[in-house]
Structure 1
């Protein structure tokens, strides 16, 4: 037996307490009623379901008084519930508190009560409670109170303390106090034990002085690991971890559920603990355990300054709890939005949010001190990789992984500023950072885009560092140069206005997605900005600027891309022997072109100059030629020319003569030395491009060379090929110049008669009228036919002074006429007649030569005799027509034995004539000519004459 279990009850002053209460009841019967009612209110009100809560709270207070974490044990002895605890034993003050409905034995400064009004909770299950301690004990009894007062009905059980029954056993071994509760009828013992067991974890958390609670052999333990971390272990080995923080100087603690790794498991709904559960619902992620003024019901906080002061103190300590959590989980402790669950919830939430706005708790991306919510900035994009590069340029940026729209919304509740894409772009615009920093930024942005966490079209204004040190506002149109060529390094040394080449160390795939273009050497050569720099380069060089780097870049680009990509760069300034010149005005040292150029074409003030030899030696000839430096003749091409504006010699004359639809011509032809044309022609034939220009139909090159080049002192068009005998007499054969025939023909040496324009016609007329030339009738007739057939503008052609006549001689044009009717040749002298094959050409030739037609000059009168005969009545005519399948003309012919016509009073015997009707002498020749003319079969006149003499098939065929 406990050595002090039998100590007299008077040591606790029980008899005195009981006597004073009974005396008070006798003196004031209403006091008895008041105590009865008060106890009833406590039993059915605030303490109705707080049995274990109140007993555990008393046990915790006892452990605190003893200075050692306590233990609590709940057991059943039959139908008696026994709750034993360790710690300070029951004393006189405790007994007095038990017997008082309005008093408590809590020492000042303690956080829990010690045998106060809360003991009334036992009345919910028992009317005969006993408290047994190692220093004695006390009993309460409804039956004994009835007996003592003679009352009929309800009595206040806890107002009269009684000694323990004789033989009351001491507390169990290892415990200092035990409350023994004989359960009233109707109490479900099993259900009661289960309810008490369910409350154990909450009590171990709320009452830090309790280290273990056992219920019917099942023990829950509390283990403190330090730094506010504790673990509650259940009978089955399951554990619950809590991170707690006692607010310094305040009767308040915060408790946060965490897992084994320390990751918070925020509460979604809870109640205020003061320190045990109340009915004040809270929506905070952590539990608030605070000593607050509570209404007598123990359910609600008693409003007032005292409660406000406690809540304010608790809120000020909340950031410290948050800081105890790993940085990446701290946002989980921001109070949720939405309607508050109670007035206390609304007040505490606002106080906590204010504390989080003002106190540092968010990790800084810069690595510096934590940030208060009110000065923090969170990326709206869920892109943790973005945080590191942006930490340097966004003050107050919160560290990764605290980013993304949901987290930013949470942080905004406590004053943090969300950083959207627009703000991000603005923050990095206009800043100076190493190129590698930009590349890291682009990588993080692209990862966010590919992960669907960032919209690509929001990044259009993203700055891009260029090779020249500038930063471009937006990648669209920028060029991503091939880093393997070394070109970006060269470009960085050249100031090309408007050329936007991304720095090679910043050339990230994101930029291409945003509109930047991959640019190899050929693409860079095509850049308008670079071409503009080329066009300005000569003026820049002459003004004293160093254009050498530009030339180096251009030539390197041409070397990388091939000369075919270098079109349009002929304006590049390069060093000549005496100064800077456009590339197209320079000739390579040792080029074959130098051998055919006129010496006066080269020099400082001449159209061309030789490229500086030292500079030329640094680059392959084909690269220099690619930018326009001349190594041979150069071809100029314009597929849609607007006019004669290509600086070609006599271009306007060619344009008027040909009206070209394109220009594809060799330039600098007028710079060839007069005696070098055979070599120049061979040089033109050596290149496919110049050969095509030379042979292009209607092209300027062939046109100009034929007229202005010199072969043996004459233009090519003034010579004929030796084999072109049809032009004999009109043109002299070209001498042997060592130039092949097809090249001579391409240069304009005649292989046949060609009249392209009025100049050609004038040239031919001069040759026809040259008395020094012996022109046979055949070439003369063909020349007249070519003149008549040419569509020439007559106002541009001067009529000749001399003409070639039918007899082959030259006559003054004043005495000549064009034979336009065949019968007139019989009465006019051949020395005055100009003839042309095809009578339909005669009128055009007469107009071209400004000569009268013979029919306009002769007034002939045929004889009146003769016999008119219808063609069909002439048998020989009819037979000949049948053999030739000739349809006889309408009408007939006037037949004469002898036909004489009078011209200017002089008679002329002729074989045929034509006036109102055809006239013919009665001969085969006369009838054949008349029939051929009338039937429009003039070329068949000689065959008709033969058939009229012998109208047989043999004559026709032989």
Structure 2
């Protein structure tokens, strides 16, 4: 080979080595042993690796991608490369065994690693454009005079016949093979792909006509390896002397590894579980299979971990998570240490794509555990540190490198207080609803979700908010939006969304808006606000607008302008309303209970809407189907409530405001409208009850008059004069048509009847007196009220007597003892006894004319009068003969004709029956019949007299209940027999039959 003889100072290098061997006899042995260790240990099976590293270093020094070619020529393995040629420092490194000439930034530039060639040859040569060097085991043995020498210590110049470097290359290593060429080439071919990945400056490798090439995309870091068997793509990252490589498909999608080994750059036996391949100059044991653990390897592993996030950053945002180490047991000690270091770096370095832009360190990242990318996008400037990754899987994965999952409640809290357009919120609700439907979150977590309102506010939580159903300009929403109504949460129409309804908001048309509690509260205080100077016009306009299309009931408190200021709607009357003609002028105006609606305001609004709000165009109604108490502000309602105990209230309001002289006109107004007429005729209703007592017809209450046709009330009540009302109207307002039923009589009615009976100017028929007394007694028995005892009463003869001079008749036989003017009596009823039974004289069943002792006692209690039977001091003064009823043929014949059984016992028959006593002036008084028993059980006869009362006698004939006496006349016997047999109502019939016991008497 021609060129520069001894261009690299080879003579000097040999002389130095030989001198060292001569000066130190052990040095030769040490060098020999050292080379043997390299050849058999650390550099075994690293032939191509070392040559490729040298080629890569040469390319790096030259600044051009390197090309490596491997051929076999004449039994020699020739490895040619491009790049910086061989230099003196490189030769010195080759011959030193312990030194390397590699500069900073190179992998290995002709150092101890060249010893790998000794695995295939003992006569290596290197030829370069700058010269060459030859090593020879035999020549070294000859020179050193030893049988065991190192091959790579004595360099010689190539011979003149050494072929030059092949065209296109700068250096070629020539190795006469001592092993089969095929095995070497197969080993080399298998190692090429890894070396192209590990050595960025090596771009192409040819092996006996087969080509491997590397193409790197500087923008993405993806390396494409074109190989004889196909193409492989790897995303790579080189930093601090290490290379990370991740397989990707043709579209750049990562294909993470599930298991691999550490490469240095050739494979070791150290198993790794990371998803990417690591090429790192980690110190290894002489076997090159295991890493030297401890302090020697830790700096390189730490450097590799620091470089790992760089590989992640080279990937597309959505692909980076594949590099997070999976949760599994480490595959080796190195794997365990490296995984921990990588996780720590992923936690500290920025690599997780942030939705706001840029990258985040793992410990600074926040991950939404909901698979909703659009939601994440919307939250970009709301949640600091929010990652683009979302969903439960990514959240759990990134938590292993320090990220924190941010719950929906945290998101809601972050949303609170932010200012966004309503359409932004609508988009947010879209994403949340989709997540809710996908069961990725719980609706309970969204309870405080902010909601933008139509008035510009944003409130926490949809519950109770109102969602407008129509456009703002159509629904009154524009007016409502301008109101400052606390608690009225009207959702902005641009933000209205089905999600809000799911979370408790309500669809709201005009009806729902008018029922909103907050709006109703504003209505309730509107008069107070208006009086205090608050502008309530917007509220009024909004309510009136909504009331056009909905029910405005319950909004009668709305402030409206009156002629004299602001008043409640239900305290106002429409101008010109007919009802104004019947109200007392003092009741309408600034100081009155009512006022007239402002004329201009009334003209500008629909009267139907105004009256729906409560403004009066006629009488107003109070309707309550389930009343609980007398709290409807009706006049004298408490008294009516106590009297009627109503099941519902359906009544006319403001009756107490009617002028005294306007009642006929007012009643006609009430009759004109079906609603008020129905209230007027409501059974037991307040309207009729109150009108009957407090309305005025010709100066007197309707209840003070009777209908002209009610002649059975003549004397007690006067006929109503003609006041221009129909009979139906008069009846409806309480003009009397008959005596009231006892169940409907109240205390005032009872007192009124007592007063009228006690009026000596009235000529009350005797039958009507008896009927009224019966009514008063039943009222007293019903205990519905208490009547103050009258000072004067109507006696049985029709006169008015002082109450201290009369008694209440409780036994009909007593009528014969005293004048009628001494008795007060009730209309009678039949005795209460069964067929063939008997009743105690004076008991509740006896004495039909008195209505029974119980009724008489009730009347006595009502009038505070004594019962006649208790005070009349008179006894039978004549003699008579006892006769059982069965021994009185005439009586038996009458009983047969009547079809009744004879009673037990009998009667004492007198030729002339008389009674005498203090109450009859001591003289004998003739009576038709008598019962000598106290109605209360105080017998007025001697035991053993032989008489038999209605209670019967014992077996010995002893009186145990009283004694009946009768004059021997048909009238006397008829009365006694009727009383004893419970036939009191038929006493006149019995008397006639006793006189003429013939069927014709009964039938005719």
TM-score (norm 2): 0.82
Partner of 1:156: 150
User: Does structure 2 retain, via aligned residues, the 8 Å contact 1:846–1:852?
Assistant: yes
CA shift digits 1:712-765 (9 cap, x unpaired): 332121222333333233223334545444443332222221151222122223
Q: Residues 96-135 of structure 1 correspond to what in structure 2 (within 5 A)? A: 97-104=93-100, 106=102, 108-109=103-104, 111-127=106-122, 129=124
CA shift digits 1:235-276 (9 cap, x unpaired): 13322233445x5xx656665544434445556666676666
Q: For structure 1, which segment, 406-415 or 114-123, has the greater mean C-alpha deviation from structure 2 after superposition?
A: 406-415
Partner of 1:942: 988
Residue 720 of structure 1: which of 706, 711, 717 is its match? 706
Q: Residues 624-643 of structure 1 correspond to what in structure 2 (within 5 A)? A: 624-637=610-623
Q: For structure 1, which segment, 306-315 or 611-620, has the greater mean C-alpha deviation from structure 2 after superposition?
A: 306-315
Deviation for aligned residue 1:605:
0.9
Give the 3-state SS of the residue equivalent to 2:205 in structure 1: strand
Residue 914 of structure 1: which of 917, 931, 940 is its match? 931
Q: Is the aligned partner of 1:709 residue 2:704?
A: no
> CA 1:843 to 1:293, structure 2 compared with 1: closer, same or farther past 3 Å?
closer
Q: For structure 1, which segment, 190-199 or 918-927, has the greater mean C-alpha deviation from structure 2 after superposition?
A: 190-199
CA shift digits 1:633-665 (9 cap, x unpaired): 223345666654443222343344345565443
User: Does structure 2 retain, via aligned residues, the 8 Å contact 1:817–1:854?
Assistant: yes
> CA 1:307 to 1:871, structure 2 compared with 1: closer, same or farther past 3 Å?
closer
Q: Residues 9-88 of structure 1 correspond to what in structure 2 (within 5 A)? A: 25=21, 28-64=24-60, 68-75=64-71, 81-86=77-82
User: Does structure 1 retain, via aligned residues, the 8 Å contact 2:222–2:233?
Assistant: no
Residue 620 of structure 1: which of 606, 610, 614 is its match? 606
Q: For structure 1, which segment, 141-150 or 236-245, has the greater mean C-alpha deviation from structure 2 after superposition?
A: 141-150
User: Does structure 2 retain, via aligned residues, the 8 Å contact 1:275–1:289?
Assistant: yes
> CA 1:686 to 1:346, structure 2 compared with 1: closer, same or farther past 3 Å?
farther
C-alpha distance in 2 between matches for 1:310 and 1:853? 128
C-alpha distance in 2 between matches for 1:852 and 1:355? 112
C-alpha distance in 1 between matches for 2:236 and 2:724? 107
Q: Is the aligned partner of 1:820 residue 2:866?
A: no
Residue 782 of structure 1: which of 760, 771, 783 is its match? 771
Q: Is the aligned partner of 1:517 residue 2:517?
A: no
Deviation for aligned residue 1:441:
3.1
Partner of 1:924: 970
Deviation for aligned residue 1:46:
1.0
Q: Is the aligned partner of 1:650 residue 2:636?
A: yes
Q: For structure 1, which segment, 447-456 or 410-419, has the greater mean C-alpha deviation from structure 2 after superposition?
A: 410-419
Deviation for aligned residue 1:558:
3.1
C-alpha distance in 1 between matches for 2:97 and 2:292? 19
User: Does structure 2 retain, via aligned residues, the 8 Å contact 1:382–1:453?
Assistant: yes
Deviation for aligned residue 1:518:
3.4
Partner of 2:419: 432
Partner of 2:198: 206
Q: Is the aligned partner of 1:894 residue 2:894?
A: no
Q: Is the aligned partner of 1:236 residue 2:229?
A: yes
User: Does structure 2 retain, via aligned residues, the 8 Å contact 1:722–1:734?
Assistant: yes
C-alpha distance in 2 between matches for 1:67 and 1:661? 107
Residue 748 of structure 1: which of 713, 734, 750 is its match? 734
C-alpha distance in 2 between matches for 1:64 and 1:584? 98
C-alpha distance in 1 between matches for 2:964 and 2:302? 140
Partner of 1:543: 532
User: Does structure 2 retain, via aligned residues, the 8 Å contact 1:794–1:848?
Assistant: no
Partner of 2:836: none
Partner of 2:846: none
Q: Residues 316-355 of structure 1 correspond to what in structure 2 (within 5 A)? A: 323-330=313-320, 332=322
Deviation for aligned residue 1:196:
2.5
Give the 3-state SS of the residue equivalent to 1:402 in structure 2: strand
User: Does structure 1 retain, via aligned residues, the 8 Å contact 2:706–2:720?
Assistant: yes
C-alpha distance in 1 between matches for 2:867 and 2:263? 135
Residue 387 of structure 1: which of 376, 400, 405 is its match? 376
Residue 528 of structure 1: which of 478, 502, 517 is its match? 517
Give the 3-state SS of the residue equivalent to 1:786 in structure 2: helix
User: Does structure 2 retain, via aligned residues, the 8 Å contact 1:9–1:138?
Assistant: no
Partner of 2:959: none
C-alpha distance in 1 between matches for 2:295 and 2:873? 147
Q: Is the aligned partner of 1:220 residue 2:212?
A: yes
Q: For structure 1, which segment, 754-763 or 135-144, has the greater mean C-alpha deviation from structure 2 after superposition?
A: 135-144
Q: For structure 1, which segment, 832-841 or 285-294, has the greater mean C-alpha deviation from structure 2 after superposition?
A: 285-294
C-alpha distance in 1 between matches for 2:978 and 2:822? 26
Structure 2 unaligned blocks of 5 or more:
829-849, 933-940, 942-962
Q: Is the aligned partner of 1:558 residue 2:547?
A: yes
Deviation for aligned residue 1:42:
0.8
Deviation for aligned residue 1:681:
2.8
Deviation for aligned residue 1:121:
1.5
CA shift digits 1:835-885 (9 cap, x unpaired): 322221333334433445444565444343332211111122223223334
> CA 1:768 to 1:89, structure 2 compared with 1: closer, same or farther past 3 Å?
closer
Give the 3-state SS of the residue equivalent to 2:35 in structure 1: helix
C-alpha distance in 1 between matches for 2:346 and 2:994? 136
User: Does structure 1 retain, via aligned residues, the 8 Å contact 2:237–2:314?
Assistant: no
C-alpha distance in 2 between matches for 1:588 and 1:149? 136
Give the 3-state SS of the residue equivalent to 1:560 in structure 2: coil
Partner of 1:836: 826
CA shift digits 1:425-482 (9 cap, x unpaired): 3333233333333333333333333334444323323333333443323333333343
C-alpha distance in 2 between matches for 1:496 and 1:711? 50
Q: Residues 144-183 of structure 1 correspond to what in structure 2 (within 5 A)? A: 155-159=149-153, 178-179=172-173, 181=175
Give the 3-state SS of the residue equivalent to 2:815 in structure 1: helix
User: Does structure 2 retain, via aligned residues, the 8 Å contact 1:920–1:930?
Assistant: yes
> CA 1:221 to 1:670, structure 2 compared with 1: closer, same or farther past 3 Å?
same
Give the 3-state SS of the residue equivalent to 1:654 in structure 2: helix
Partner of 2:579: 593
CA shift digits 1:663-690 (9 cap, x unpaired): 4432211111233333333433444543
C-alpha distance in 1 between matches for 2:63 and 2:876? 167
Partner of 1:757: 746
Aligned residues: 940
Partner of 1:904: 921
Q: Residues 453-532 of structure 1 correspond to what in structure 2 (within 5 A)? A: 453-484=440-471, 485-532=474-521
User: Does structure 1 retain, via aligned residues, the 8 Å contact 2:86–2:130?
Assistant: yes
C-alpha distance in 2 between matches for 1:304 and 1:790? 114
TM-score (norm 1): 0.85
Deviation for aligned residue 1:232:
1.0
> CA 1:799 to 1:241, structure 2 compared with 1: closer, same or farther past 3 Å?
closer
User: Does structure 1 retain, via aligned residues, the 8 Å contact 2:660–2:696?
Assistant: yes
CA shift digits 1:696-719 (9 cap, x unpaired): 443322221111112233212122
C-alpha distance in 1 between matches for 2:534 and 2:979? 84
C-alpha distance in 1 between matches for 2:691 and 2:211? 118
> CA 1:578 to 1:117, structure 2 compared with 1: closer, same or farther past 3 Å?
same
Deviation for aligned residue 1:35:
2.4
CA shift digits 1:484-503 (9 cap, x unpaired): 35344322222223333333
Give the 3-state SS of the residue equivalent to 1:32 in structure 2: helix
User: Does structure 2 retain, via aligned residues, the 8 Å contact 1:870–1:892?
Assistant: yes
Give the 3-state SS of the residue equivalent to 1:529 in structure 2: helix
User: Does structure 2 retain, via aligned residues, the 8 Å contact 1:577–1:609?
Assistant: yes
CA shift digits 1:104-150 (9 cap, x unpaired): 454x4561434432222133344455556688866656566667767
